[in-house]
Structure 1
Amino acid sequence: MNLAVGKETLEVVQVGPDSVWVVNNDTGVATRLPTDTLKPDRTERHPDAKGQLDLTTGGGETYTVDHRNGRLRKLDGKRGQPGEVTTPPVTAAVVDSKGTAWALSVTNGELLEIDGTTVKGRQRVTEPGESAALTLVSDLPVVYRQATGQAALHDAGGLRRQVDLGARDGLVSQPGTASPVVAVVVPSTGVLTTGDFNSRQARNIRLPGRAGHTFAAPVVHHGRVYVPDFTDLQVLIADLATGEVRAEKVPSPSNEFQLTVRDERVWVNDPQSTVTLTFDASGKKTSIDTSGEGGPSDKPLPTPTPTVQQDEQPPPARPVTPVTTAPRVSRPSAAPTPKDEVVPDVVGKPREQACARLRPKFRCLAVAESGEDAQGDTGVVLATDPPAGTRAARGSAVTVRYRGPVTVPAVVGVPAAQACEAVLKARLKCAQSAEGLAKAATQVGVVTKQDPKPDTPAATGTTVTVVSPAQVEVGSLQGRPVAEACAAVQQAGLACAQQEAGRGAPTGVVQTQTPAAGAGLAPGGTVTVTYLGEPLVPNLVGQAPDAACALLRQEALECAPNDNEITLDLNKVIKQDPPPGGRLAAGTKVTYTYESTAPTDLLRYKAPAPGRANFISPGGAGPAGWSSQSTLGKVYQPDQVNSVPGLVPIYRFSCQKAAQCHEPGSYYFSPGAGEHAGFVAEGPAFACFSDKPAGTKELFALMNGEGTWVWAVPGSFEYNHFKSTGFGGREFRICNIW
């Protein structure tokens, strides 16, 4: 099947990896070709739309705009069936990467959001009948108002950003740039203007010697703007970083060429030429000679390009521009001289009333004045051009300058009072609302959200509600160390009060808090935290050991008993470490010292007369026939020697040979275990103190001249009696006893 013959031109658009659409601009026939077979599987015929059928695609969806009648038709895609979209007359359409179509109706001044064949949303973007163009920037629709030189970025929610380019009656850049930059070339001045929607700044780049040239829609690509100049048959390349402009000659036998972007490259193509130019991302040019691939007349265009349109004098309409290899600019024919009329005074009237007053004698071209210097209320006419009372040709345009909408300032993150100042300065009303809780006192009264959103156009006097928190949120403190918890409270701008709720473990950790976590407090408000304090060391002296341990455990302290005290006050705490009254960490051991080992009476016995020998025994009976005399004090059993500090064993010896110990059957007691002459060792007899602890007394051994031993405590009756009856010629201290 032949898609074109002779010098008919084709526009080729790849919808996806599996199909392309080819439009014959000279016959109005659109044909779909599967990429695997390249055999037509669907054809749509619009023979009356020759040269006026635009094809646009994106996100797998394809649409056509018929500029004869402004009809929008879906050709292909996954969002519903093909068919005509019911809309007002459409002058332009673009499709974003998600497959959503955006169409501009100049008749109604509306931007239409389209899903499949259904109109999902409408936005008023211009005055009805006002000349405007549509493109895509950063995958969002941009409306360029040619009469005001303004470019506005929209989304489904409405106006997002607006840049005042100051470039009127220009040609806006083609759809598809990923950067936030829109470009407009003004043929009458030869000036290229770019606007950045992020910074909202505009910049002018003069194209030297090009004023009055014929241009087409520029292309923004990788930091450069490519401008087709049909007068000199050149592509002008402006570097956005430096502002420098260079020119590249285009081999164009037909004096027409097309500028498109495909595969990350800019393509310059004249179907009548055997040479195609291409520019890579760095702006480097490559020439491709296609002379060996068939005649140039049937070479398809590399990618779709919107037809360039210029607005004519009334009534507003799109010029009939054939879609060929390059845009063709229609030029208006001469018109008869119209009759003059007096421009009426419409200053101070609402814009709609002013335009109604001007019609039908004049066309009303409404231009919004914005900025801080603009006067009056939104929609009220400030001035006209020509001014009231002057004469102008009937049917000519009268520019009506009116107070446009103000831009809602961005006040999130600003103190509410300061935010309201900014709102009032913008000639809007401010309403404050308290909502939510701040993380810190410094954020109380700071705006967290606003309605309307920042940058939203609004009429003067519109109320902007600013929302800010009035209280500080109380954080969760339970389980945190008291010092750490109070530091967090104070850092949030609140006061912290600590209350001890008893003593125990875990010590110093928040048990409860008031108010609870998540509650709100005014800045400086008090948060009370309770905690268990460090245990207080109780007084244990005089307590029984078990009672002392019970007191310690009540205070969450550990018991460390020490049954090793020298005292007769048994089973009673004598001392403790540390002393009472101090604070300790829970679980700390407290040592308390007492004695549980009881001493035994040390009894003295006397040998039968005439013997004078003595015998001493810890609580036991004396030798048979010996008489009980007195109790010398208290000592310990031999097996208790390790139970009380300072005890030593006292050994007993018995006399067996009269020749050596004088009085057979007598006894000798000594701290030394070695045998003595004439005496036989019988083992430990009792235990007493080697030192002299407080409260004890010395036990002495005394011997008379005949070698007989007795025992007594110095100063006692026995001791004095023995000293007076011949004992004491030899005496020594054995130990100390109670």
Structure 2
Amino acid sequence: MIPMPKGLRLPKRPAGQAISSVLVVVLLAGALTVAAGAGFGVTQPLLGDGSAFLAKGHTVAHVNGETGLSDAELAQQLATGTERLQTVRLPDGRVAIVNKDTGTVTFLDAATMTVTGTKPGTKPGKPGGSGKDDIVPVATEKDGYLVDLKDNTVTKIVTPGQPPSQPVSAPGPIVGVAPGGDSAWVVTATGDAVEVVDGRAVRTVRVGAPAAGITQADGHPVVVATDGTAYAVDGAQPRAIGNLGVSGGNLVLGSWRGAGRLVVAVDRRTGRLGALDPRTGQVTTVTIRVGRSARLDAPVLLGTWAYVPDYAGPSLWRVNLATGTADRKPFEVPGRKGVPFSLEVSGGKVWANDQYDRRALVVDADGTQHYVDKGASPDVTDSQDETNGGGPTNPATPPDRPEGGEPQPGPTTPAPGPRVTVPTFPAGTPYQSACEQITALGLLCRPAPGGDRDGLDTGDVIFTDPPGGRQVPVDSRVVVRYVGPLRNPNVVGLPIKRACDTLDDRGLRCRRVTDPTPADTPQQLGVVSSQDPQAGEDIDKGGTVRLTYRDTIAAPSVQGSMHKAACDQLEKTYKMVCTAVEGDPATGGNQPGAVYAQDPAPGTVVRIGDRITVTYYRGSSTIGRYVGRNVDEACADVTRRGFTCVKQEGLTAWGNGTAGAVYQQTPDADTAHNVGSTVTLTFYSNTGPAIDSYAGRDINAACAAIQAAGYVCNPVNDLHRDTTANIVYAQDQAAGSAAPIGSAVTVRYSQWSTVEYYIYQRDDGSDVWVLRPAGQNPPGYGRQAFRVGQGYAAGTAIPGASFVNGYFCTIGGGRCGGLDVNHFASRFNAPYSLNGTAWEGPTGLAVFMASCPAGSVQIYRTWRGAGTAASPRVYSISSDPNANGAADREALGCVWA
């Protein structure tokens, strides 16, 4: 058997799920090497398959929303006391786990879920957690950020080992944060929206009104003012896109962790929710019937549903934005009353999770709710444990841990008591019967509704935990998972067949009911307009759902259309059966193939699938003469004659004819053909001939060749390495490519030739060097030579020239700066003397570049010594300003390296 990777803790689970869970671990163990205590792994498909990474006590668990159980759990402790953790998926494939109290960030590889590093926090830890939401993590398409609401700063999350990113300060109290593409956006209470890209503030957009916050809608950042007006802020200027219908100082905006197409905000005090479609401007407002003690917070979106958290419950309100209604009762969220829980959309599901509760609420895309089990742990409580009254214990700190303290030793293990065997129940056993048998054995039975299973009806047992056949102590709890009532899916707006297929997939029966009122538009035909029971209501497996739809409409008029287009419209848009019949011959101005009669007549009410017969002018038509005519004009005439026109691009117009002019047609002109036949028109293309390679040519000759090919020459003169004057060294358009006639072809050259420079050492071995063009060393110099780089000939007037002059002294007697002979190069351009001795010069030696473009390097003259016999002046030329133990230096300019 393949050993399990270290660092994995598998939660307890029913036998029915154990096989798949163990398979995940076995696959991981064979594919990954995980350091002890470093992390956990899940297979890549699970990351987007209805799953999420949820905070669980002092660590994080990967939970599968389909099985309702945890796949694996990080063995590393990331929090103490009641400190809060939040997971954020980063765009580089990592998962960042942020301790919101200390600011510590732990990085996991999303593919292998191994810990890849930790970024220490900058906030001092507080015993038991601060309880304040000061640190908010956010992820853009490129980076992750930590927004500190206390310091009003935004800091880029960098990889461990990289230099820390400097925080960006907002110009006031931050009241909202949201991503938008590559940018992180924060907004202040005064309405200043700051865009942060790659850890830097790139601009501030002023809305000009007090802001309630910022959210993400349709992929864009949107600021909502306290008067309810929404502003898109990622354009050149803020743009008002509508009003949400809710306003005031109690607004809380939709969370980016569950953003959708709509801009959403809810009034914490009244429970009134507003939703704005930024594309259409449509506004929907719904009032949620919350109590006075409600503690509403940022909603999330999934499909046409909005979900609003109420920490007082704790609970989650579901709002149907398609119908503008809210549920009469919220979903219960496992956890502690009055304590905030996390709310996000992951894997196509909504997840509401109290970090210190064993259970979490999951809502599917169709609005169906169920619960998942993150697994037992000493630092979480179980609010659904019936031995605890079925409700949360609401402790001040997690179990087995005093306020701000470390884990305490548990009680000693009691002596083994009597044990019994958990029964095994055959398929189809009602859960009530199973609980009776379990109770009769002295065990505690906890029935729990689960998902659907093929072959089982509502109330039938799916599995037990512990599984049947296992021995457990008397008074142990046995969870009986059974098929619970189904949640009626929302199929309003779906085609009737697809809607029925959806119900059938859920084990429900579909009853089709036609609405006698004719449809107003063809888009309403065959589409469900209402359902009974309504979406989201409980329904037993095998139950019947009545779907009402319209199947009649007034027949449209297709007279005057070509018969093929008329039948396409009737069959594809109106869902009718169309029969096209030849009628009278086309005479006069009538067009062959055009419909002139239909049965039933326009305006007659017809049903889906009814047959409509269209009668059209029969006969053939004569093809016109199109050579020499513009192809678009000619094609329009082909269509008017009842034929199908095909435009075919042919030879280039350059040197041949006029662009767009037809020079060949098939079939020939003045021949008769059936209506609907294809006429192909070949025309001169506006594309020029293949562009030649101009590298190595004289610039004037290259431009002449470009002009001759029908293009416009765009010569660009600039400095470049290894160039000969006026010879093309590069071109922007690749050789062999083509472009529209008259397009610019850019060729690059330099009017200045480069010269290769060397420094040469005096033959007597003294430390005296001269700067000369390659091969032009003066007599007596050449003992050693070193390449300096490519510059320009002395006196060349290049842009930004740095003129280098030569100075020398040969009078002997140690009077040349302490030497008999001495040389140096300098940008100095005046007579020079050292210690009373005049030197020869200046003499032009070279021209370097004053600034350094890419591919070039700065060259220095360096020197040391006082210029006396005891301390001779020694000069050097190098790219290293400290070469040869230099005491001082002069920048001579830049050369091509």
Please classify the TM superposition score into its range, dividing by the shorter chain length: 0.3 to 0.5
- TM-score of the superposition, structure 1-length normalised? 0.38
Bigger-Rg structure (1/2): 1
